[in-house]
Amino acid sequence: MELVWWHWFVLGLALIALEILTPTFFLLWFGLGALLAGIAVWLWPMGLAAQVLLWSAASLAMMGVWLKYFKNPADTRPGQAKESVLGTTGLVTRAVGEMGQGEILFQRPVLGADRWPVIADAPIEAGKRARVVDVLGQILKVEQTGE
């Protein structure tokens, strides 16, 4: 079986299209590797083994660069998620009482959600801004900001 350059282009475009349908951010690197292999085969004809090796190496290299330099490490390393949340500010949507829980809304999701139950040492009215000072399991501890 002989693969020519356009086979790699079709494979690359198909993998990128599948990535669009299933947003896993995994197939993209193999699709781009196939496009790169197609360009290389077009410029320098090579055997099937060399083509597959080039495709594999290019795909894994691009995925490795993405994971090492561009992906946010706080999302994947254990023990760092709490530290990435501390200091984040949000809007209190349900007042926090002395003995009761309130709720806070963030502009961007924090630890996977944009609304969180909160507690505080002092009461905070709804509509005020608050800063996260601690993460206590599934509840955030906040304090009112000076804003």
pLDDT of residue 71: 66
The reported pTM is 0.50
8 A C-beta contact, residue 8 and residue 54:
no
Who has greater pLDDT, 144 or 68? 144
Better-predicted residue by pLDDT, 67 or 132 = 132
In this prediction, residue 130 carries a pLDDT of 94
Task: Kindly report, residue by residue over 93-130, the tens digit of the pLDDT.
Answer: 999 987 789 999 998 888 778 899 999 989 999 999 99
| Contact by Cβ (8 Å): 96, 116 | no
The pLDDT value recorded for residue 12 is 94
The predicted structure's pLDDT at residue 80: 53
Residue 74 confidence (pLDDT) = 47
Is 45 within 8 Å of 30 (Cβ atoms)? Answer: no
What digits encode the pLDDT tens for the residues 9-44?
Answer: 999 999 999 988 887 778 899 999 999 999 999 999
Reported as a single tens digit per residue, the pLDDT across 63-90 is 988 888 776 544 444 455 677 788 899 9
- pLDDT value for 66: 85
Q: Write the DSSP assignment of 124-145 as a string of letters.
A: B-TT-EEEEEEEETTEEEEEE-
Q: CB–CB of 34/55 below 8 Å? A: yes
What pLDDT sits at residue 128?
92
Structural domains in the chain, CATH included, are 5-71 (no CATH), 81-144 (2.40.50.140)
Provide the strand spans (E) within 1-147. Answer: 89-94, 102-110, 113-119, 129-136, 139-144
